[in-house]
Amino acid sequence: MSVTTRRTRLAAAALAAVTALGGLAACGKDDDDATASGGKPAKLVVDTFGEFGYDDIVKQYEKDTGIKVELRKTAQLNEYRPKIVRALATGKGAADVVALEEGILNEFKANPANWADLGKLVAKDHSSEYLPWKWELGKAPDGRLIGLPTDVGSLAVCYRRDLFQAAKLPVERDQVAALWPDWNAFIETGKKYRAATGKGMLDSVTTASSAVMFQQGGDLFYDKDDNVVADSSASVKSAWDTAIAMADANITAETATWSPEWSAGFKQGTFAATFCPSWMLGIVADNSGPENKGKWDVAPVPGGAGNWGGSWLAVPTQSKYPKEAAKLAEYLTNAQSQVAAFKLKGPLPTNLEALKNPEFLAYTNEYFNNAPTGKIFGDSVSKIQPLHLGPKHQAVKENAFEPALRSYENGQSTRDKAWEQYVKDAKTQGAF
């Protein structure tokens, strides 16, 4: 089936679901969203997940414009996506500016009528100011620009220096990098850590599988025509086999990513390493708390560069203030704001001026033992290759692939049974 046919079918299905639940009516903001004097909104609302680093930036925007900005943060993407789906389906409740992560972007792009065309609302054409592939991915199939680029998720390993030292492993980042030039070497390092401490070095097989998958490139859960290829993708199989090898080697702490146990594990020293795209730095620091400042550090990932995550800012058509919302999205994604967000929480800039900014390139992260995160992550940006993520990528990953891996990691399923369950669930979750 052609790409056009599949995308048309997905768009039609999404539109039918939305229409059945009330259409795309205007959302009807609360009283405190009333228009301020001069025709400006008194408040704009921004929906994000995880940490985007906007707290200080919006304070400056409020001073500059007189418009209050409310940041509505959802901790986890799997809790965030349903909120956006529900708001679009009912025609109310969406923020004025909405962050769309790469794993859910294509699902929402399939019905561009839900989103304002930012190309018609922002002050000028910004296409030459961002990584070209990142800019293009913000466009819907009909050509309208629905998302302004925020960040990419260049890969690294976050590790606890104190716990490595206790296991008699090297602690300096160049020495740590030398421990794992490839994935087999990483597994061997995990075995040494287990032998020395009796604990798993890595948080979970699912963070490793994500890193491997996004390194591989090629088709993941879908091919270029958006056919589900979950059982035949070489990249997915490589990620699966690497994760299984880690479970077999007993190098993980078996904490489910994003679970309360996983979040607490950072502070409690349950594990000594996790795979951390740039945007994960803020999450690691927040979960670890001030008492662990300086204990974490950052080293290169085994096997080379890759991109895990990254987002865009979009404006739902149900916003009462699309022009002002677009200006806010434009402000939050400009070069100065992207550098500020990176310094606060770690999202890696996609704005070309920001990537060349001396302040970004020279930045060292005090929480992570003054790791030169600007250089570590910035050096890898040019090596990132864009991936095609199908319309239900995130659903397949979170509801099929990762649960099957965890069932094997925790001893609840055999390898063959876990794979069979994944393939079955992937076809269900990935259908559209």
Q: Are residues 296 and 326 in the same domain?
A: no
- DSSP, collapsed to helix, strand or coil, labels residue 87 as helix
What domain count does the chain have? 2
Q: Are residues 254 and 397 in the same domain?
A: yes
| CA-closest candidate to residue 347, choices 149, 215, 152, 104 | 152
214 with 104, same domain? no
Is 316 part of a structural domain of the chain?
yes
Are residues 289 and 327 both part of a single domain? Answer: no
Residue 141 included in any domain: yes
DSSP per position, 324-386 = HHHHHHHHHTSHHHHHHHHHHH-PEE-BHHHHH-HHHHT--BTTTTTB-HHHHHHTTGGG---
Q: Are residues 80 and 91 in the same domain?
A: yes
In a domain, 410, yes or no: yes
Residue 402 in any domain: the answer is yes
Does any domain span residue 301? yes
147 and 162 inside one domain: no
Within a domain: 65:
yes
Q: How many CB atoms lie within 10 A of CB 235?
A: 19
Tokens found for residue 18? 């939305």
Asked if 48 and 107 sit in the same domain, the reply is yes
Domain check: are 215 and 338 in the same one?
no
pLDDT for the residue numbered 432: 61
179 and 165 in one domain? yes
Report which of 133, 158, 150 is spatially closest to residue 383, judged by C-alpha positions: 133
Residue 347: closest CA among 22, 99, 85: 99
CATH code for the domain in which residue 113 is found? 3.40.190.10
Alpha-carbon distance 358 to 353, whole Å? 10
> In terms of domains, do 94 and 188 share one?
no
* Alpha carbons 257 and 260: distance in angstroms, whole number: 9
**219 lies in the same domain as 335:** no
Structural domain includes residue 29: no
In a domain, 114, yes or no: yes
Both 283 and 397 in one domain: the answer is yes
pLDDT in tens, the chain (432 residues): 433 334 334 444 443 333 333 333 333 344 444 455 457 899 999 999 999 999 999 999 999 999 999 999 998 888 999 999 999 999 999 999 999 999 999 999 989 999 999 999 998 999 999 999 999 999 999 999 999 999 999 999 999 999 999 999 999 999 999 999 999 999 999 999 999 999 999 999 999 999 999 998 788 999 999 999 999 999 999 999 999 999 999 999 999 999 999 999 999 999 999 999 999 999 999 999 999 999 999 999 998 888 899 999 999 999 999 999 999 999 999 999 999 999 999 999 999 999 999 999 999 999 999 999 999 999 888 888 888 899 999 999 999 999 999 999 999 999 999 999 999 999 999 876
Range of the domain at 82: 43-152+310-362
Q: What is the per-residue burial (b if ≥16 Cβ within 10 Å, else e) of 88-113?
A: bbbbebbbbbbbbbbbbbbbbbbbbe
